[in-house]
Structures are given as structure tokens and as C-alpha cells.
């Protein structure tokens, strides 16, 4: 046997162990090894049943995702796992698959080819391929509906969400839950079924339903996907493949699945989603803060400021089981904060996300206070007061006085200079930025802002803590707006320019929502309140490029009291339920103000609007990358996908630019530079890469090679 697959014997039971750390991915060698093990078992008369199990922390997390890029770039041939699975299913003796950790993608497909499946209660099983822009490619769409029925199979293959072992057992996907030692339990189960006829999943049809029942189910499923997974191709392909399972014999269904799988695999969507998968796993890797950097224990948190951000952050930590002291200066503000928390939890209970008991336990973890006295024992403090340097400095001076010596002192600032904040403390090495995104209890992104003196153990602690509290933590440098907002501000500025030049707000927003963004820039402004960026623009006016064009629309709307949703009007008009509609007054105001400012009104195409918005992000992203405020182009992509509603299937702004081709992007940026002036000056890195015929991915690869 190969090192990756071990074949051993427990008397009459053969045990195949897959040992391909870290997640037993089904590399070609693993697939060949399983095949060889089955051949041996078939030849060994003494074997009466077999157990197939994974070594290490998990069963099998699916195909080796690294292989997909090699296949689409022509560096590897696309093999098929199907013959191996048929060999398992046609094995002379019953095969019992024993699952712990995860059986995902090809891992679940392998399990379903086995005759029985047993699992520990903590295990999870799923077909998450759609998250990578593909569909199950080893008969998952054919065997799963045969085991769990069409509705559940469609749900699992279109959402990609794994289900818990307990649920899997209740719907017939697992035959038994094993308490205690999994291998021992699986061997005992194998002894029970040895010598008896073993059921083959592919021969079953009892759960496939009738054509009439299914027609309505598939139509409804397609409708749901179009609404909830807007723009994604793979979930629709998964439905097509499952439909094939209900209409064709198994072998033909597999052929149809393979055709659809290939179509998805070679798509831009799949390449982008695979990029996002690996970029997310790259993000915690910080060259000068190695994995084994010691961390400070964080078992309690204190928060200053019970506003929207402070109360949201309190929920995030309470949800992770970490006790929180929540402080505000005023009782009324504290009461409001707690009320917000209660309301948010009530919504989560209504939506079935949390049980009332869970919420009650979390509420007990949040301790309101008006005093800093309660801060002395906190392992970490997050300041979430109003965005203003003076106030933040006051708070940090106070924290320096009350916090214990090794406490981490973090600021939730979204724009301000962490070094300046740290300068008022006697321990700048313990000061760092933890920039949460609103609503903090919902958004996955956390920017960890590294100050000049932030120590490595503080950085490592915050990055690890991010994972513990369910966030994607991305380390960023300390520049204005850090990464996300530094790119976002020019983007929303450009949206205003488009309106000032003649585009309707809904056309501006549609140019990026049609591209796949969750919301357009103007609707986002209305949602958060136009006064937020108004204040930022005012405070940082001194940073504006001298002589460069300045937007005026939004400032004037704010000055008219049109602050967005909260005042019933902003870029759009809102009814009581905050449903938006076009406001003809905006077109009239834009026309009047633009004429006064001497800006000619013209018709603007959707392509121009989209390119100006997206390429503004890319151009600023290129500057950030070159200046070293983001470690990798992929980090910027992860920030935009997780914090700004950028469609993951486009891979993030930097990946998207690479797919367009940087030469094309650069030419367009130059065109906008000529037409609109200094704010479109091409980033030097963009120019350099475009002229060299390279992409951001090449830049990253070369930078990584240079450091190794
Ligand atoms: C598929 O199966 C298609 C089939 O239908 C058809 C043909 C058979 N491949 O996430 P983590 C690496 S498509 C290669 O940090 P966790 C990962 O990059 C596949 N590598 O750990 C990381 O490497 P590094 C369908 C993989 O405990 C390390 O493992 N399956 C794979 O937080 C640890 O990962 C999926 O989509 C892989 N399949 O989460 C499942 N999986 O240390 C994808 C992981 O160098 N995987 N790695 O950065 C996951 O969802 C999570 O990794 C998992 C563990 C839940 C398993």
C-alpha cells in the first residue's frame, strides 16, 4: 500500500485508513490507493467486511482543490473518481465508511459508494462544491437523491451547507451514530453486516419521486437559487444534474453530471471562487509573525462605548462564550445599547438562528457598567467610541491607567491613525486596531490594524481571536482608512460624480448590482447614513489632492437634512418600511447644481459607470499593495468579498482586474484620467504590471519567491 493508504486487518475485518494530512483530500494518489486496497480485499478470501476510515482530524474534505487549477491550466489531466467509487460499491464484501470531522464533497461521494455509513455525533457531511463554483463531480448528484430524496439533495447541493451527523442519521444518509471510539464501533458494525447482502446506493430508486412531483420541485428550486444566489451558475447546474438523476439511468446521469461539472470547472466563476478559498486560508499567514508566535490569553473583554458598534462587538464575543464588560459614560446610552442587543437577539431567535436559551446565556455574559473600575481584570479592551481623535486619545490615556499590564488595547476606529492613538499610552506595543464592520454581529470581516509598535504576540493574538469569534481577520497597515475604507471612499466619490454628470442614482447602483455586488454605493450610503461620510469628508478635507475635483451632491443632500433611510430620504425616497423608490427631486437637483457648476449633463452607459466604480477600487488597491498596507492582492479581495458585498464569484476587485487583463484596465484608467483629471492618475504598480503584461497574481508570486 502507499503511505497515503494503509490496509490492515482486525481478524476478518479489513481496515482501509486514508492518511493524507491535513484533511485527507482525495489526490490522484489517494484515489489510486483506495482502488488498490479494494482490489486486495477482493482477493483475500478471509476478509468478510471492510471499514474505510480517515486518519487525523477528519474523514475526507473532498477532492484536492489544488488539482483544479492544474487541470484548467492544462498542467494536469482531469481523471475520474467514478471507477474507484464503482469498485468500492461492487466490492465483494460490505464496506462500512466511518466518519469523524467532515465528509465533504468527494468525501461524501466516497461514503455514499460504501454500503453503510457510521459517524461520530460531532461529524458533518455535505456537498460544498458550489462554494467553489462547481458541482459534485463523483456521482454526488446521482447517489445523494437516491439516499435522501430530491428535496434534501437539492438543498445540500445548491446551498453547499454541510449538515450535522444527527440530521444525516435522521434522513437516512447515515446508518448509525457511534458514541465512543469510532474505529471500534465501525468494526463492530462491520461484524454485524458481514456475510449479508450489501445495499448498493446506485441501484436504489425508491426516493427519486415521480416526474410530476419533481417538475414543481425543480422549478421552485431554480426560482429560489435565482433569488438567493443571484448570478451564480453552479447551483443551477447542480439542480440540472439532480434532475438528470431522476430521469436517466445511473450511468447516463453520471455522464450528464460530468458534462455539467466540466462546464462549471472551466468557468471564470469557479476560478474566482477557488481563488477566494485559498486567499482566505492565506490571510492568517504573516511573514514576520510565524504560526508559533506566542499569544496572550483572551478570556474576558471590556468594551468602551455601547453604541451600534460597541453593542454589536459585545454580541460577537458573547456568542463565542467570552464574557464582556460593556461601558458607556451615560446610563441612557448603556440602556440603548442593551436594548439594541436584545432586539438583535430577538430577530435571531425569530429566524431560528439561536434558541431562547442560548440568547439568555449570552445576555448573562454581557455586563453593563458606567465605570472603568470593572476594566482592571479584562484581558483585552476594545474602544468603540465616536470617531474623533481627541476623544479616542482621552479614552486610551484612561485605559492605560486602569488596564492590567499585559492587556491588549484595541481601537475600533475605521479611519484614524493607530500610532497617534497609541502615543498617549505607556505601552504602544499593546495597542492595535480591530476594525469591525457594521453590523458587527453579522459581517464576517475584521481588519486587524498593525501599528508601528504593535508587538507580534498582540498581532498573533488578534488574528487567532478573529477565527475564534467567527470572523475573517485580515492584517492591514496603518494608513488612512486602512484597506477597505481607503478604497471605498474614492469609490463612493466616483458614484457622486456619475450622478453629477447625468446618471440617475438607480442607474449608478444598478451598474454594480448587475455586476453582482450586494448593493450599489448610493444605496449603501443611504443605509448607513449620508452624514457618516459627510463628517469624514469634512474632517479630512486637508488630505484632498490640491486642485482635484470635489463632489458636491452628497454634502448638499446632508445639509438639506436628507441623511438617507433614517430621515426617509437620501439618494432615494423611503417609506415607513424603509422600501426605496426613485425620487424625482434628485434628478432636478442634480440638473440644477451641475449646470451651476458648469458640468455638462450627458447620458452615461452602464459599462462606463461600472468601470469607473470598479476600476477606482482597483487603482486604489494597487497603490495600497505597492505601499505595503496589504500583504497580498488576495487579502484585498478577501476584505472586499467579506466586508463590502463584492461578489465572491468575481474573486474580489484585484482578481477581477486580472481576469479582465491589467493592460485593458490600465488603458481604461488612462482614458478616465484624461477625461476626469488627477483623481484618476494610474497607480504606478498598475502601470508597471500592465506594461509588463503581468497581473497582480504574478506580482504576488514574484514577491513570495523573493522572500523565500
Ligand atoms: C470536490 O470534492 C469535488 C468532488 O465532487 C469531485 C471529485 C472527487 N483540498 O480550512 P482550513 C487545506 S471539491 C486541498 O484552514 P479548518 C487548506 O487549504 C472539494 N486542500 O481548516 C488548509 O491548508 P493550509 C469539496 C484543502 O479546520 C488546510 O487544508 N470540499 C482542502 O478550518 C486546513 O484547512 C470542500 O470544499 C481540499 N479539499 O476547516 C471542503 N480542504 O494549512 C473545503 C482544506 O496550507 N475545505 N484544505 O492553509 C473546508 O471546507 C475546510 O478546509 C474544512 C476544515 C472544513 C475541511
Catalytic residue flag (residue 109): yes
- CB burial of residue 670 (10 Å; 0-12, 13-18, 19+): middle
Residues 537 and 421 in one domain: no
Residue nearest to ligand 1 atom 49, measured at CA = 61
Residues 26 and 129 in one domain: yes
Question: In this predicted model, what pLDDT tens digit does every residue of 94-104 receive, in sequence order?
Answer: 999 999 999 99
d(CA 510, CA 699): 32
- Residue 109 CA: nearest ligand 1 atom is 5
Average pLDDT of every residue of the chain:
96
Test site for ligand 1: of 29, 57, 60, 62, most ligand atoms within 8 A of the Cβ: 62
Q: Which residues contact 236 (CB under 8 A, 6 or more apart)?
A: 222, 225, 226
Q: Beta strands 324-327 and 301-304: pairing type?
A: parallel
- Residue 22 CA: nearest ligand 1 atom is 29
- Dihedral sign of CA atoms 182, 187, 193, 196 in order: positive
CATH number at residue 404: 3.40.50.720
Distance from Cα 106 to the centre of ligand 1, integer Å: 11
Confidence of residue 374 (pLDDT cuts 50, 70, 90): confident
Catalytic residue flag (residue 129): yes
- Residue 104 CA: nearest ligand 1 atom is 30
Write down the pTM of the prediction.
0.95
Report the pLDDT value the prediction gives residue 238, as an integer from 0 to 100: 98
pLDDT value at 707 more than 80: no
Instruction: Give the number of other Cβ atoms within 10 Å of residue 76's Cβ.
Output: 14
Confidence of residue 78 (pLDDT cuts 50, 70, 90): confident
CATH number at residue 240: 3.90.226.10
Report the pLDDT value the prediction gives residue 708, as an integer from 0 to 100: 67
Where among 241, 266, 291 does a domain terminate? 266
Test site for ligand 1: of 20, 21, 23, most ligand atoms within 8 A of the Cβ: 23
Cell of 328: 458607556
Cell of 425: 499610552
- Residue 127 CA: nearest ligand 1 atom is 25
d(CA 576, CA 621): 38
- Residue 277 CA: nearest ligand 1 atom is 18
Would residue 259 count as lying in a domain?
yes
SS3 630: strand
pLDDT value at 203 more than 90: yes
The fraction of the chain above a pLDDT of 70, given in percent, is 100
445-464: string of b/e by CB count within 10 Å (b at 16+)? bbbbbbbebbbbbbbbbbbb
d(CA 382, CA 435): 10
Distance from Cα 462 to the centre of ligand 1, integer Å: 23
User: How does DSSP assign 467-520, residue by residue?
Assistant: HHTT-EEEEEESSTTTTHHHHHHHHHHHHHHHHHHT--HHHHHHHHHTTT-SS-
Residues 107 and 42 in one domain: yes
Distance from Cα 23 to the centre of ligand 1, integer Å: 7
Question: In this predicted model, what pLDDT tens digit does every residue of 47-67 receive, in sequence order?
Answer: 999 999 999 999 999 999 999
Test site for ligand 1: of 29, 35, 61, most ligand atoms within 8 A of the Cβ: 61
Question: In this predicted model, what pLDDT tens digit does every residue of 110-139 receive, in sequence order?
Answer: 999 999 999 999 999 999 999 999 999 999
Distance from Cα 61 to the centre of ligand 1, integer Å: 5
Phi-psi group of 51: left, alpha or beta (phi > 0 → left; psi -120 to 50 → alpha; rest → beta): beta
Question: CA 10 from chain center: how many Å?
Answer: 43
Test site for ligand 1: of 22, 99, 139, 260, most ligand atoms within 8 A of the Cβ: 22
| First-residue to last-residue Cα distance in the chain | 35
pLDDT value at 1 more than 70: no
CATH number at residue 684: 1.10.1040.50
- Residue 128 CA: nearest ligand 1 atom is 36
Confidence of residue 280 (pLDDT cuts 50, 70, 90): very high
More confident: 114 or 541: 114
Residues 103 and 206 in one domain: yes
Cell of 502: 447625468
d(CA 327, CA 254): 59
Q: What is the largest CA-CA distance in the chain?
A: 93
- Residue 68 CA: nearest ligand 1 atom is 13
pLDDT value at 158 more than 70: yes
Q: Beta strands 116-119 and 472-477: pairing type?
A: unpaired
Would residue 281 count as lying in a domain?
no
Give yes or no for a contact between 393 and 387, defined as CB atoms under 8 angstroms apart: no
Distance from Cα 162 to the centre of ligand 1, integer Å: 13
The fraction of the chain above a pLDDT of 90, given in percent, is 93
- Residue 160 CA: nearest ligand 1 atom is 36
Report the pLDDT value the prediction gives residue 541, as an integer from 0 to 100: 84
Would residue 67 count as lying in a domain?
yes
Report the pLDDT value the prediction gives residue 432, as an integer from 0 to 100: 98
Report the pLDDT value the prediction gives residue 539, as an integer from 0 to 100: 81
Would residue 294 count as lying in a domain?
no
d(CA 665, CA 642): 24
Residue nearest to ligand 1 atom 56, measured at CA = 61
Where among 266, 285, 317 does a domain terminate? 266
- Residue 57 CA: nearest ligand 1 atom is 27
Residues 461 and 505 in one domain: no
Report the pLDDT value the prediction gives residue 466, as an integer from 0 to 100: 98
Range of the domain at 212: 5-266
Q: Which residue of the set 12, 46, 129, 420 is catalytic?
A: 129
Strands (E), 105-243: 116-119, 124-126, 163-164, 176-177
Question: In this predicted model, what pLDDT tens digit does every residue of 464-517 receive, in sequence order?
Answer: 999 999 999 999 999 999 999 999 999 999 999 999 999 999 999 999 999 999
Distance from Cα 472 to the centre of ligand 1, integer Å: 16
Cell of 472: 475573517
Question: In this predicted model, what pLDDT tens digit does every residue of 19-34 receive, in sequence order?
Answer: 999 999 999 999 999 9
Question: In this predicted model, what pLDDT tens digit does every residue of 618-635 receive, in sequence order?
Answer: 999 999 999 999 999 999
- Residue 135 CA: nearest ligand 1 atom is 5
Confidence of residue 190 (pLDDT cuts 50, 70, 90): very high
Distance from Cα 152 to the centre of ligand 1, integer Å: 23
Q: Count CA atoms within 13 Å of residue 230 on its CB side.
A: 11
Residues 553 and 692 in one domain: yes
Residues 406 and 511 in one domain: no
Residues 240 and 205 in one domain: yes
With CA atoms as reference, report the closest residue to 654 among 663, 662, 644.
662
d(CA 49, CA 187): 9
Distance from Cα 64 to the centre of ligand 1, integer Å: 8
User: How does DSSP assign 262-279, residue by residue?
Assistant: HHHHTSHHHHHHHHHHHH
With CA atoms as reference, report the closest residue to 136 among 211, 63, 55.
63
Residues 345 and 456 in one domain: yes
Distance from Cα 681 to the centre of ligand 1, integer Å: 40
Distance from Cα 345 to the centre of ligand 1, integer Å: 32
Q: How many domains does the chain have?
A: 3
| The residue to which cell 460597541 is assigned | 310
Q: Which residues contact 352 (CB under 8 A, 6 or more apart)?
A: none
SS3 109: helix
Test site for ligand 1: of 56, 65, 106, 129, most ligand atoms within 8 A of the Cβ: 65
Give yes or no for a contact between 154 and 13, defined as CB atoms under 8 angstroms apart: no
Question: In this predicted model, what pLDDT tens digit does every residue of 323-356 receive, in sequence order?
Answer: 999 999 999 999 999 999 999 999 999 999 999 9
> 74-83, 160-169, 273-282, 542-551: which range is least confident on average?
542-551
Q: Which residue of the set 89, 109, 243, 257 is catalytic?
A: 109
Residues 496 and 458 in one domain: no
Cell of 454: 504593535
Residues 97 and 231 in one domain: yes
Distance from Cα 701 to the centre of ligand 1, integer Å: 22
Would residue 623 count as lying in a domain?
yes
Q: Which residues line ligand 1 (CB under 6 A)?
A: 22-23, 25-26, 61-66, 81, 102, 104-106, 109, 128-129, 131-132, 136-138, 140, 281
Would residue 289 count as lying in a domain?
no
Give yes or no for a contact between 313 and 479, defined as CB atoms under 8 angstroms apart: no
Q: Which residues contact 164 (CB under 8 A, 6 or more apart)?
A: 121, 123, 124
Where among 218, 243, 266 does a domain terminate? 266
Distance from Cα 642 to the centre of ligand 1, integer Å: 19
Would residue 206 count as lying in a domain?
yes
Residues 515 and 381 in one domain: no
- Dihedral sign of CA atoms 474, 475, 476, 482 in order: positive
d(CA 530, CA 563): 5
With CA atoms as reference, report the closest residue to 493 among 519, 522, 515.
522
Question: In this predicted model, what pLDDT tens digit does every residue of 563-612 receive, in sequence order?
Answer: 999 999 999 999 988 899 999 999 999 999 999 999 999 999 999 999 99
Would residue 271 count as lying in a domain?
no
* Alpha-helical regions (H) of 130-201: 140-148, 150-159, 165-170, 182-193
Amino acid at each position: 500500500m502507499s503511505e497515503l493508504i494503509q490496509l490492515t486487518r482486525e481478524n476478518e475485518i479489513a481496515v482501509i485508513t486514508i492518511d493524507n494530512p491535513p484533511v485527507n483530500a482525495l489526490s490522484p494518489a489517494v484515489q489510486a490507493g483506495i482502488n488498490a486496497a479494494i482490489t486486495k480485499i477482493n482477493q483475500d478470501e478471509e476478509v468478510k467486511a471492510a471499514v474505510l476510515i480517515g486518519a487525523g482530524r477528519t474523514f475526507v474534505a473532498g477532492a484536492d482543490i489544488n488539482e483544479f487549477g492544474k487541470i484548467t491550466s492544462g498542467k494536469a489531466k482531469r481523471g475520474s473518481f467514478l471507477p474507484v467509487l464503482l469498485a468500492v460499491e461492487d466490492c465483494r464484501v460490505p464496506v462500512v465508511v466511518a466518519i469523524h470531522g467532515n465528509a465533504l464533497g468527494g468525501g461524501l461521494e466516497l461514503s455514499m459508494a460504501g454500503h453503510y455509513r457510521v459517524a461520530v455525533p460531532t461529524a458533518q457531511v455535505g456537498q460544498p462544491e458550489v462554494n467553489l463554483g462547481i458541482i459534485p463531480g463523483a456521482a454526488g448528484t446521482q447517489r445523494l437523491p437516491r439516499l435522501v430524496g430530491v428535496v434534501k439533495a437539492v438543498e445540500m447541493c445548491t446551498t453547499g451547507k454541510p449538515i450535522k451527523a444527527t440530521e444525516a442519521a435522521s434522513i437516512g444518509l447515515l446508518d448509525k451514530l457511534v458514541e465512543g471510539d469510532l474505529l471500534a464501533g465501525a468494526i463492530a458494525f462491520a461484524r454485524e453486516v458481514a456475510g449479508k447482502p450489501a445495499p448498493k446506493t446506485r441501484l436504489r430508486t425508491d426516493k427519486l419521486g415521480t416526474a410530476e412531483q419533481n417538475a414543481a420541485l425543480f422549478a421552485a428550486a431554480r426560482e429560489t437559487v435565482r433569488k438567493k444566489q443571484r448570478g451564480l451558475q453552479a447551483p443551477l447546474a447542480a439542480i440540472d444534474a439532480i434532475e438528470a438523476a431522476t430521469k436517466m439511468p445511473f450511468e447516463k446521469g453520471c455522464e450528464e453530471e460530468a458534462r455539467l461539472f466540466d462546464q462549471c470547472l472551466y468557468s471564470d466563476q469557479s476560478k474566482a471562487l477557488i481563488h477566494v478559498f485559498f486567499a482566505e486560508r492565506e490571510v492568517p499567514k504573516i511573514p514576520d509573525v510565524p504560526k508559533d508566535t506566542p499569544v496572550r490569553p483572551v478570556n474576558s473583554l471590556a468594551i468602551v462605548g455601547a453604541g451600534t458598534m460597541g453593542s454589536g462587538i459585545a454580541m460577537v464575543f458573547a456568542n463565542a462564550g467570552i464574557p464582556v464588560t460593556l461601558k458607556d459614560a451615560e446610563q441612557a446610552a448603556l440602556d440603548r445599547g442593551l436594548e439594541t442587543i436584545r432586539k438583535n437577539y430577538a430577530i435571531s431567535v425569530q429566524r431560528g438562528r439561536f434558541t431562547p436559551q442560548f440568547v439568555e446565556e449570552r445576555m448573562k455574559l454581557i455586563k453593563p457598567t458606567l465605570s472603568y473600575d470593572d476594566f482592571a481584570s479584562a484581558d483585552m479592551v476594545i474602544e468603540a467610541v465616536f470617531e474623533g481623535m481627541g476623544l479616542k486619545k482621552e479614552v486610551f490615556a484612561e485605559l492605560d491607567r486602569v488596564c492590567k499590564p499585559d492587556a491588549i488595547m484595541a481601537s475600533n476606529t475605521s479611519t484614524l491613525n493607530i500610532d497617534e492613538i497609541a502615543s498617549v499610552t505607556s505601552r504602544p506595543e499593546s495597542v492595535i486596531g480591530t476594525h469591525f464592520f457594521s453590523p458587527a454581529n453579522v459581517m464576517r470581516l475584521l481588519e486587524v490594524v498593525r501599528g508601528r509598535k504593535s508587538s507580534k504576540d498582540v498581532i498573533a493574538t488578534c488574528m487567532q481571536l478573529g477565527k475564534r469569534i467567527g470572523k475573517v481577520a485580515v492584517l492591514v497597515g496603518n494608513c488612512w482608512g486602512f484597506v477597505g475604507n481607503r478604497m471605498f471612499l474614492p469609490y463612493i466619490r466616483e458614484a457622486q460624480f456619475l450622478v453629477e454628470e447625468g446618471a440617475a442614482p438607480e442607474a449608478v447602483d444598478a451598474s454594480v448590482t448587475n455586476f453582482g455586488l450586494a448593493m450599489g454605493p448610493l444605496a449603501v450610503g443611504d443605509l448607513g447614513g449620508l452624514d457618516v461620510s459627510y463628517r469624514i469628508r469634512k474632517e479630512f478635507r486637508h488630505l484632498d489632492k490640491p486642485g482635484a475635483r470635489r463632489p458636491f451632491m452628497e454634502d448638499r443632500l446632508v445639509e438639506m437634512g436628507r441623511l438617507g433611510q433614517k430621515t426617509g430620504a437620501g439618494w432615494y425616497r423611503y417609506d415607513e418600511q424603509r422600501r426605496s423608490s426613485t425620487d424625482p427631486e434628485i434628478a432636478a437637483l442634480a440638473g440644477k447644481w451641475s449646470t451651476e457648476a458648469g458640468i455638462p449633463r450627458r447620458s452615461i452607459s452602464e459599462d462606463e459607470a461600472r468601470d469607473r466604480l470598479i476600476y477606482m477600487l482597483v487603482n486604489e488597491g494597487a497603490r495600497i499593495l505597492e505601499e505595503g498596507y496589504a500583504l497580498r492582492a488576495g487579502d484585498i479581495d478577501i476584505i472586499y468579498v467579506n466586508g463590502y458585498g463584492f461578489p465572491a464569484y468575481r474573486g474580489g476587485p484585484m482578481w477581477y482586474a486580472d481576469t479582465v487583463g491589467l493592460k485593458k484596465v490600465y488603458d481604461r484608467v488612462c482614458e478616465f484620467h484624461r477625461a476626469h483629471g488627477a483623481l484618476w492618475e494610474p497607480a504606478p504598480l498598475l502601470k508597471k504590471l500592465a506594461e509588463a503584461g503581468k497581473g497582480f497574481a504574478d506580482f504576488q508570486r514574484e514577491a513570495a519567491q523573493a522572500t523565500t
